């Protein structure tokens, strides 16, 4: 095995750098989008996953938290408590409401909590309270940064002034953020009497699926989901909006990356045509010449993807300050997948130039 | 009795197809003895380079047989031809054909690496051959930093380092001054004596003839003279 391809690559720093930059950009694009997606998913699902509710009960058709508008009457809570195996029942009210801070207007996914909320309270509290009292609001870190508000500052929620009582983390849904208020405040804000979007039910036996089935049978007019199913429902809701876009951009990134590698490697083969011809004349077979081209592309992929990941590591630190709403979350598997993706792009991109190198005739070495 | 013939051509013709086919070689038959230096001379278009390409396994004859060390090249599949060039041949080109991103040492070692020699051993052997050829001090230089004579010595070193049985040199002195050209030819001549390597040179350069054991003259694709050194 000769590593002449590495020499070819490293001793043509401009071309190699451009190829690496192109791949770095493709990697940054893919990792950034995947990281934002993962951050959004995490922010969306962490609240649900962190609750200790075993069963979520809502109106039929209300199968996820983010896009549910159905309201159950408060009396359903009493009926739920009568179901055998139910340990506790907590109502929550969810609504997408406008929040105004100075000139800033944002829509927040507001969860109305009982003042005794245990299951439904947010778990990742950075500062202040988890459960707001009357006239208070608990907001997400990203929204707090964007609005420039802290504890005791005032936010107008659907026209109602509320004091910030707590700041939470991992409650950023990317397109909006969670906020938590007293259920009574929220009932007033949305103009409802006694009602709940969901009841969070804890079981005595921890058999959520069994209890969910029992509730649907005994209570009637409700849909009940065990926690795993409810989480999956919410993930599906997110994915139906995010993933198609993400896939299109990922494919575009792949096409751009492959094109860059292909063009740059092809020009490198043309530029070094005489070298490949010489190699053929002195006994480098087709496989060796192909591998020389492939080495150049793969090296560019390794260097480019590492550079891209380095750039993202730097961005990861500064992004929360620059754009707090972007919940970038880069897990090791995303980085590893991006490197693998860059290698794949390089391998695909090098196929055509590699074939060109193999098809050069050694006879050219004698042509003048 | 041992066959001392290194290269044997029998009724070899080469026609380049096209709207006006070109007969580059016509019915050429000759034998080249192992361990000798043979010179092919003739004007441009006489078929010298075509002959070299056929003996080098870079091209195949239209008719006839090219046999090198007992192997009929026309019958060898592509893979075997690559192996033949890799293990049996050394090439020296008029324009040196050194790889400019590699140092002199790496250029020579490359030929050894292609034959499967380990990197450290290849570099050591390459350094030794460059020293023998008087360019040991330029091991770490890139081709663009070498004079024409130095480049050709490096190219000769690349051809010699793997100790091939046959060296094919295409106008090896064309771009060199008289003294350097003589040095290069003496290096090529030396391997015929010391290692019984067969050397075939194609050239216009009249200064080469005194180094040759045999001189072949080509004209319009035909072999018109076949002279021993004394006769040449």
Tens-digit pLDDT profile for residues A4-44? 888 888 888 898 999 899 999 988 888 888 888 888 888 88
Per DSSP (E only), the strands in A219-293 are 223-226
Q: Is the pLDDT of residue B230 over 60?
A: no
C-alpha span between A129 and A198 (Å, rounded): 22
Interface test with A, best of B82, B107, B112, B161 (most A CBs within 10 A): B82
Residue B70 lies in a domain: no
Contact flag B58-A284 (C-beta cutoff 8 Å):
no
Cβ–Cβ < 8 Å for B124, B177: no
Per-residue confidence (pLDDT) for residue A267, from 0 to 100? 93
What residues in A contact B158, CB-CB < 8 Å? 282
Mean pLDDT by 10 residues, chain A (368 residues): 80 89 89 84 84 90 79 88 90 89 90 89 92 94 92 91 93 87 84 81 85 89 90 85 82 89 93 93 92 94 92 84 80 89 94 95 84
* Distance in angstroms (rounded) separating the CA atoms of residues A251 and A235: 22
| Smallest Cα distance from A16 to chain B, Å | 13
β-partners of residue A179 are A110, A139
What tens digit of pLDDT does each residue of B105-151 get?
999 999 999 998 999 999 999 999 999 988 999 999 999 999 998 99
- Neighbouring CB atoms inside 10 A of B18's CB total 7
pLDDT of residue B232 exceeding 60, the answer is: no
Cross-chain residue pair B111–A282, CB shorter than 8 Å: yes
pLDDT recorded at residue B142: 95
DSSP per residue, A77-108 = HHHHHTSTTEEEEEEEEEEEEEEEETTEEEEE
**Chain A residues contacting B via beta carbons under 8 Å:** 2, 4, 7-8, 11-12, 274-275, 278-279, 281-286, 288, 361-363, 365-366, 368
Nearest to B169 by CA among B69, B42, B14, B37: B37
CA dist A211 to A64, A92, A207, Å?
18, 19, 6
Q: What's residue A327's pLDDT? A: 78
In this structure, the number of other CB atoms found within 10 A of the CB of residue B199 comes to 30
B115/A366 Cβ within 8 A: no
Number of domains in chain B: 1
- Residue B192 sits in a domain of what CATH number? 3.40.50.300
Residues of chain B with Cβ-Cβ distance to A283 below 8 Å are: 82-83, 85-87, 89, 111, 114-115
pLDDT for the residue numbered A308: 92
Nearest to B170 among A11, A286, A366 (CB): A366
- How far apart are alpha carbons A172 and A141 in whole angstroms? 8
| Pairing, β B166-170 against β B198-202 | parallel
Residues of A within 8 A of B82 (CB-CB) are: 283-286
Tell me how far apart the alpha carbons of residues A8 and A15 are, in angstroms, rounded to a whole number.
Answer: 10
Q: Is residue B53 less than 8 Å (CB to CB) from chain A?
A: yes
CB contacts of B161 in chain A (<8 Å) are none
Report the distance separating Cα A22 and Cα A254, nearest Å.
11
Q: Are A128 and A138 in contact (CB under 8 A)?
A: yes
Give residue-wise pLDDT tens across range B183-220: 889 989 988 888 789 999 999 888 888 889 999 999 99
Q: Compute the nearest-CA separation of A22 from chain B (Å).
A: 23
Q: For residue range B157-175, what is the model confidence (pLDDT) as tens digits?
A: 999 999 999 999 999 988 8
**Chain B interface disruption, residue of A14, A283, A358, most B CBs within 10 A:** A283
Q: Specify which residues A32 forms β-bridges with.
A: none
B86 and A278: CB-CB below 8 Å? no
Contact across the interface for B58 and A12, Cβ inside 8 Å: no
Whether residues A366 and B93 touch (CB distance < 8 A) is answered with yes
Chain B residues with CB under 8 Å of A7 CB are 101-102, 106
> Does B83 fall in a domain?
yes
Range of the domain at B45: 37-49+78-228
**Strand A86-101 and strand A198-203: pairing?**
antiparallel
pLDDT tens per residue across span B40-61: 999 988 999 999 999 999 999 9
| Facing residue for A362 by CB, picked from B58, B99, B106 | B58
Residue B81's nearest CA partner among B50, B54, B107, B48 is B54
The residue among B172, B162, B45 whose CA lies nearest residue B96 is: B172
- Give A75's contacts (C-beta < 8 A, 6+ positions apart): none
Which of A226, A313, A222 is CA-nearest to residue A51? A226
Helices (H), strands (E): how many in chain A? 10, 12
Residue B79 with chain A: CB contacts under 8 Å: 285
Which residue in B has a C-alpha nearest to residue A362's C-alpha?
Answer: B58
Residue B73's pLDDT band (cuts 50, 70, 90): very high
Provide the residue ranges of all domains of chain A, joining segments of one domain with +. Answer: 4-44+237-366, 60-221
Smallest Cα distance from B167 to chain A, Å: 11
A277, A281, A284, A288 alpha-carbon torsion, rounded to 10°: 20
- Residues composing chain B: 232
Question: Residue B229 has what pLDDT?
Answer: 60
């Amino acid at each position: 095995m000769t590593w002449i391809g590495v020499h070819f690559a490293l001793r043509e720093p401009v071309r190699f750098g451009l190829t690496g930059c192109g791949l770095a950009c493709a990697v940054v694009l893919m990792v950034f989008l995947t990281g934002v997606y993962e951050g959004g998913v995490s922010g969306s699902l962490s609240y649900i996953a962190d609750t200790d509710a075993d069963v979520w009960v809502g109106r039929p058709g209300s199968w996820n938290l983010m896009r549910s508008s159905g309201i159950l009457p408060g009396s359903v809570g009493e009926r739920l408590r009568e179901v055998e195996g139910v340990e506790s029942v907590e109502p929550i009210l969810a609504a997408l409401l406008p929040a105004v801070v100075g000139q800033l207007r944002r829509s927040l996914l507001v969860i109305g909590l009982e003042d005794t909320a245990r299951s439904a309270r947010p778990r990742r509290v950075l500062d202040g309270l988890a459960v707001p009292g009357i006239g208070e609001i608990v907001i997400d870190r990203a929204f707090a940064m964007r609005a420039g508000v802290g504890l005791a500052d005032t936010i107008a929620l659907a026209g109602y002034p509320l004091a910030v009582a707590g700041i939470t983390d991992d409650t950023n849904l990317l397109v909006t953020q969670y906020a938590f208020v007293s259920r009574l405040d929220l009932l007033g804000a949305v103009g409802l009497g006694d009602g709940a979007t969901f009841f969070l039910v804890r079981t005595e036996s921890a058999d959520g699926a069994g209890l969910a089935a029992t509730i649907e049978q005994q209570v009637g007019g409700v849909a009940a989901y065990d926690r795993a199913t409810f989480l999956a429902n919410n993930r599906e809701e997110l994915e139906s909006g995010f993933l198609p876009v993400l896939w299109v951009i990922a494919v575009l990134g792949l096409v751009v990356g492959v094109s860059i590698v292909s063009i740059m490697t092809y020009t490198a083969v043309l530029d070094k045509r005489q070298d490949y011809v010489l190699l053929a004349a002195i006994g480098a077979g087709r496989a060796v010449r192909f591998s020389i081209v492939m080495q150049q592309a793969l090296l560019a992929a390794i260097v480019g993807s590492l550079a891209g990941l380095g750039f993202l590591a730097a961005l990861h630190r500064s992004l929360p300050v620059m754009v707090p709403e972007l919940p970038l979350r880069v897990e090791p598997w995303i980085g590893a997948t991006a490197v693998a993706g860059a290698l794949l792009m390089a391998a695909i991109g090098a196929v055509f130039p590699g074939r060109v190198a193999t098809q050069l005739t050694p006879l050219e070495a004698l042509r003048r | 009795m041992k066959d001392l013939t290194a290269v044997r051509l029998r009724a070899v013709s080469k026609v380049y197809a096209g709207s006006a086919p070109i007969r580059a070689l016509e019915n050429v038959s000759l034998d080249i003895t192992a361990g000798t230096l043979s010179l092919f001379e003739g004007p441009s278009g006489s078929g010298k380079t075509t002959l070299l390409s056929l003996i080098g396994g870079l091209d195949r004859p239209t008719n006839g047989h090219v046999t090198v060390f007992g192997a009929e090249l026309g019958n060898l599949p592509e893979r075997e031809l690559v192996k033949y060039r890799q293990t049996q041949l050394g090439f020296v080109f008029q324009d040196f054909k050194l790889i400019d991103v590699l140092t002199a040492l790496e250029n020579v070692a490359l030929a050894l690496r292609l034959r499967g020699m380990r990197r450290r051993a290849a570099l050591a052997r390459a350094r030794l051959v460059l020293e023998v050829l008087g360019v040991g001090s330029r091991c770490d230089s890139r081709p663009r930093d070498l004079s024409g004579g130095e480049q050709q010595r490096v190219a000769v070193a690349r051809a010699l380092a793997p100790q091939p049985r046959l060296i094919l040199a295409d106008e090896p002195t064309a771009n060199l001054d008289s003294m350097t050209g003589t040095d290069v030819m003496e290096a090529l001549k030396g391997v015929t004596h010391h290692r019984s390597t067969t050397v075939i040179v194609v050239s216009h350069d009249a200064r080469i003839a005194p180094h040759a054991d045999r001189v072949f003259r080509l004209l319009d694709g035909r072999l018109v003279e076949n002279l021993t050194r004394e006769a040449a």
